[in-house]
Amino acid sequence: MTTAQVLNPATEQVVATVELVGVAETDAAIERAQRAALTWREVAPGDRARLLRRFAEAVDADLERLAQLEVSNSGHTIGNARWEAGNVRDVLHYAAGMPERLLGHQIPVAGGVNITFHEPLGVVGVIVPWNFPMPIAAWGFAPALAAGNTVVLKPAELTPLTAIRLGELALEAGLPEHVFQVLPGKGSVVGQRFVTHPAVRKVVFTGSTEVGTQIMAGCAQQVKRVTLELGGKSANIVFADADLARAAATAPYGVFDNAGQDCCARSRILVQRSVFDKFLELLEPAVRGVRVGDPTQESTEMGPLISAAHRDRVAAYIEPSTKVAFTGARPDGPGFWYPPTVVLPDAPTDRVLTEEVFGPVVAVLPFEDEADAIRIANDTEYGLSGSIWTNDVGRALRVSRAVEAGNLSVNSHSSVRYWTPFGGFKQSGLGRELGPDAALAFTETKNVFIATQ
């Protein structure tokens, strides 16, 4: 078996060595999951719910350990990491309410009774990126398990540790063996096998649009179900009538959270021209004030990037000709640090404006009026999230309806709640996760007619 070293991105020290699963082990795990699916689907809804609740409680009891593991593996700030472990617990508790609520229809028909069932799919493969290893895993596995499927989960190569721990906690909580298996390994090996193995009936992929496109094409060979959560280039639209001080004070947290390695990062700030200069003046102290540093400290607001290679990729977006308005802090010494950076693009075709940087870089640009703001916001292949700052409720609603994105917030930057749906328009994805319908994405609707005459 090959192994991979896992680094702490804040110190560059090795924190663990992980055994990587190959094709043969992946096949064996999928086949075990296939057998386990036959009995898991027969577990009474109330018992499946109870097991998921126990799993949630096990995560809660382990919350601090999971959070510390994420800080050392991913460089997340301890505050964020605790939220992320808590999110797994909450998603599991929410999913525990689903087995008894997978309601079908009774549809009036002549000569009999017509009813629908939501049948589980079988084995579901979940492929997770490195930016939010815990929540993104749970958004896939929790509702899939609730709906009666078994799950094989592949964490990202760089960040497998919390997923491995979640796999142990599931067993400790009493989930039957092989119902939830975590398989650390390469995307091109384990992830690819989820796509090609016929027993995997659905792939849930979160990651780059580039890989997501390949996954979708691969799944098409078997008409395999797929949910895709992909990249973003979201707009934070600030109208002149907004509370400018609040909009400016919060804008850094709408893009630099998790060092900008967030698919929902509001990485384009569109500001109405009449208040553009004023907004930049207010933004500068807010950006300089972001506390960047040791992620183990409670007061830290932004940690390092995930790897040296990723830092190089982010840095390449700042070309010699790029107009940098101002930057925030970054510590010296080891660690993959990059400072919060605000740029003023020259042209709508600038790479920093059209591509997902996935780092702490934000572009600020002016717009003229409401129609112009909507046009610029939609001038991207992505459509994941966005924010609208205005005190005019009519405008807030008009612009919310007009922006082509799945998750919008008005006078706020919050996009994610486990009980509301999440997902992208256009090339940001396909399907939705979370929210009241989450389990339905892991079922097939079956229609049954029973003759009474």
Positions marked active-site? 229, 263
CB of residue 264 to ligand NAD, shortest distance in Å: 7
- 229 and 206 in contact (C-beta within 8 Å)? yes
CB of residue 371 to ligand NAD, shortest distance in Å: 28
CB of residue 203 to ligand NAD, shortest distance in Å: 8
How many residues does this entry show for the chain?
Answer: 453
Q: Of 231 and 295, which has the nearer Cβ to ligand NAD?
A: 231
| Backbone φ, ψ for residue 288 (5° rounding) | -65, -25
- Dig out the tokens for 423 from the structure: 């997902």
CB of residue 358 to ligand NAD, shortest distance in Å: 5
Look up tokens 């060092």; give the residue.
259
CB of residue 206 to ligand NAD, shortest distance in Å: 5
- 256 and 290 in contact (C-beta within 8 Å)? yes
User: What span, in angstroms and rounded, lies between the C-alpha atoms of 400 and 397?
Assistant: 5
Candidates 56, 225, 23, 22; CA nearest to 145 is 56
Q: Of 153 and 342, which has the nearer Cβ to ligand NAD?
A: 153
Q: Of 176 and 421, which has the nearer Cβ to ligand NAD?
A: 421
Q: Of 148 and 359, which has the nearer Cβ to ligand NAD?
A: 359
Candidates 350, 351, 301; CA nearest to 328 is 301
Q: Of 148 and 191, which has the nearer Cβ to ligand NAD?
A: 191
Candidates 106, 86, 88; CA nearest to 96 is 88
Q: Of 52 and 215, which has the nearer Cβ to ligand NAD?
A: 215
Residues 6+ apart with CB under 8 A from 157: 4, 20, 130, 184, 185, 186, 187
Q: Of 122 and 191, which has the nearer Cβ to ligand NAD?
A: 191
The residues binding ligand NAD (CB under 6 A) are 127-132, 136, 154, 156-157, 187-188, 191-192, 206-208, 211, 214-215, 229-232, 263, 356, 358, 384, 424, 428-429
Residues 6+ apart with CB under 8 A from 414: none
The DSSP output letter for 15 is E
User: What span, in angstroms and rounded, lies between the C-alpha atoms of 244 and 19?
Assistant: 51
The dihedral sign for the CA sequence 140, 145, 148, 154? positive
Q: What is the DSSP string of 335-371?
A: S-----EEE--SSTT-HHHHS---SSEEEEEEE-SHH
CB of residue 332 to ligand NAD, shortest distance in Å: 27
User: What span, in angstroms and rounded, lies between the C-alpha atoms of 192 and 177?
Assistant: 24
Q: Which helix (H) or strand (E) holds 313?
A: helix 308-315
CB of residue 102 to ligand NAD, shortest distance in Å: 24
- 73 and 81 in contact (C-beta within 8 Å)? no
